[in-house]
A = this chain, B = another copy of it.
């Protein structure tokens, strides 16, 4: 069974010969061949260069034989075209300027056409699709509206995103209008990636866990659901990854999708109990387990695999992006062990 079939079957809870596996942030950061490219190319130049972005997307596929290639880009790439300026300082995270804090700021934002504004992303997906053929799945992605709003309003990554929360709780109507605009852009942006050949699209709601349960429903879940609904007839696998919402994971049931991403703080068996048989699960090894000893790593891999034994719907992944200091040998061991021990994973527990 090729990796693409394995990935797509698991996403649809159908028979697989072993567990499909890929790693969030596999394209970049921890690989020496990525760093070699980055020595000559800035992060944003790399995002804007389809040939190099394709190359970086393929590096982990070649090295680890993972079942899916995720395209190299950043969740802020489409957002930056809406009217803010995106920059990455050395050693710092992204910065979007000027921050959106008022209705006047909002009115300067515009809905973009991703085909004309982010053609490099369309082309990157096409190049990756052509390169992997039908052997591997191709995953496109976008940020979810609440997570993108957080960057747009606070202007940079921050602990707690207080300006974003201030906006939600002082001008909720304005927050909803911005979220609706972002949602429209993201639907078009993901549809473009699907048109370019993506088998799956992942919606990253990295900051969803900053919200209390009811605020999640109102400001995050509702917009993720709207996007997923509007992509339903595409026949593409839709992955929703709401990070750090373990306290109210059941709220993600309201977001239509084939696959729910599960972070490492969650008990995968509990997630299975919540979502089987309607959704597949993706995750959830603690990425820092790859920094430890082989013995401790294996304990955690095996426990993760045991939690979904007998259920076809498990795409193995880390519970968050791979840590930059990870030894590629540990990542290789992880992928190989999952492929080896995942054999027979579809068989029922009784066998």
Q: A residues bordering B, Cβ < 8 Å?
A: 160, 162, 165-166, 168-172, 209-215, 244-249, 264-267, 270, 286, 288-289, 291-293, 296-297, 300, 303, 319, 323, 325
Contact = CB atoms under 8 A, between A and B. Distances in A.
18 contacts: A162-B291, A162-B325, A165-B286, A165-B288, A165-B291, A166-B291, A169-B289, A169-B293, A170-B292, A170-B296, A171-B293, A215-B286, A245-B265, A247-B249, A247-B265, A247-B266, A247-B270, A248-B266
Contact of A166 (B165, B211, B288): B288
A19 to B, nearest CB: 19
Nearest to A249: B247
Q: Which of A166, A172, A325 has the most CB of B within 10 A?
A: A166
A41 to B, nearest CB: 25
A169 B249 contact: no
Contacts of A246: 246-248
A351 to B, nearest CB: 26
A291 B212 contact: no
B168 A292 contact: yes
A325 to B, nearest CB: 7
Contacts of A166: 288, 291-292
Across the A-B interface, give the 10 residue pairs with the lowest CB-CB distance, nearest first.
A246-B247, A169-B292, A165-B288, A166-B291, A170-B292, A169-B296, A247-B266, A247-B265, A170-B293, A213-B267
A325 B158 CA distance: 14
Nearest to A264: B212
B160 A288 contact: yes
A294 B246 CA distance: 29
A164 to B, nearest CB: 8
Contacts of A213: 265-267
Contacts of A291: 162, 165-166, 169-170
B172 A296 contact: yes
